Structure 1
Amino acid sequence: MPETKKVIGIGGIRRDYWQEQEVLNLYYRFSPRAWGHGYATEVAQAAVQIARRYLPNVPLVARIRPANTPSIRVVERIGLRRRPQWDTAEHQLFVLPS
């Protein structure tokens, strides 16, 4: 049983469009007090499982600001790979290989 019932963050996948293609956007946001405990990795892994099971033909992507190295490590840890050709001025794009 958790020690507290306070919300520490959110995460999941949502349908979106990236460069005119339908994608599933992986997202997570956590309170700084929750950083470094593996919660983002846990949420991201669950999101990948859901995407693979229910929407296997829709690419799963993560858009991450280059300075956010902890988030980059999370998506690399769960198997997403960077696609520099799809980067923008603000974000690097990572894709789950099919």
Structure 2
Amino acid sequence: MNAQGSDPDPPILQTARMTFRPFTADDFGLLAELHRDPEVGRYMGGVWDDAKIAAVLDDFVSEHARRGHSKWCVHTREGVFVGRAGLSLWRATDEFELGYAFRPEFWGQGLATEAARAVAAWAFANTEAPYLIAFTEPQNYGSQRVLERIGMVRQADRDMGFATPSAFFRMERPAR
């Protein structure tokens, strides 16, 4: 029997419908499944090749080892891979970035909102971040609605290092 309390790698975060755990080097296939999907790539700079997937996975694993957070591997409570969500340091600006990407079959079910809300709450409970940022491709209106639903505020579009400026959002740490 493997009771939840005896799990050697318990989830970092759980919501009503999802569990979040750190990525491992063995998760290349899951990340590839997500980022080879053309629908996901539509708002994330296109379909990712193996080299980019491997580099991003390595970043997720090493950042979690260093900081105790990164983008995490997200599954339903029943164990079905949903995508990724979490908190990373956006290196170009040294700001904490909330981000997520889910498989298209999970879009429109409120899972992104549930995940983003939980990640933001986790970030403010477990880090000293004074605020969080998030950004999307300007045409990704669905993701922008998610960020607004969790209380992020749209700012002026901002150059985040992509081909065009990103729709940029910020959330202040709640008063204690």
TM-score (norm 1): 0.83
1:74 aligns with 2:149: no
- Rate the CA distance shift 1:3–1:60 in 2: closer, same or farther, 3 A: closer
Structure 1 gap ranges (5+): none
C-alpha separation in 2, matches of 1:57 and 1:10? 21
- Rate the CA distance shift 1:3–1:42 in 2: closer, same or farther, 3 A: closer
Corresponding residue for 2:119? Answer: 47
- Rate the CA distance shift 1:97–1:3 in 2: closer, same or farther, 3 A: closer
Map of 1:1-98 to 2, 5 A cutoff?
Answer: 5-18=79-92, 20=93, 22-84=94-156, 87-88=158-159, 89-98=164-173
Q: Is the 8 A contact 1:26 1:44 kept in 2?
A: yes
Question: Residue 27 of structure 1 aligns to a residue in which SS?
Answer: strand
Higher relative CO (Cα under 8 Å, sequence separation at least 6) belongs to 1
Rg larger in 1 or in 2? 2
- Rate the CA distance shift 1:73–1:79 in 2: closer, same or farther, 3 A: same
Q: Which runs of 4+ in 1 moved over 4 A?
A: 1-4
Percent of residue pairs identical: 29
Could you list the per-position Cα deviations for residues 45-77 of structure 1 after superposition, in whole angstroms to 9, with x for gaps in the alignment? 111111111223342000111100000000000
Structure 2 gap ranges (5+): 1-16, 18-75
Q: Is the 8 A contact 2:96 2:129 kept in 1?
A: no
Kindly indicate which of the two structures has a greater share of residues assigned to strand: 1
- Rate the CA distance shift 1:17–1:58 in 2: closer, same or farther, 3 A: farther
Shift of 1:3: 8.7
How many residue pairs match? The answer is 95
C-alpha separation in 1, matches of 2:130 and 2:91? 11
Q: Is the 8 A contact 1:17 1:23 kept in 2?
A: yes
Kindly indicate which of the two structures has a greater share of residues assigned to helix: 2
Aligned CA RMSD, in angstroms, stands at 2.2
Q: Is the 8 A contact 1:23 1:58 kept in 2?
A: no
Q: Is the 8 A contact 1:62 1:95 kept in 2?
A: yes
Q: Is the 8 A contact 2:151 2:171 kept in 1?
A: yes
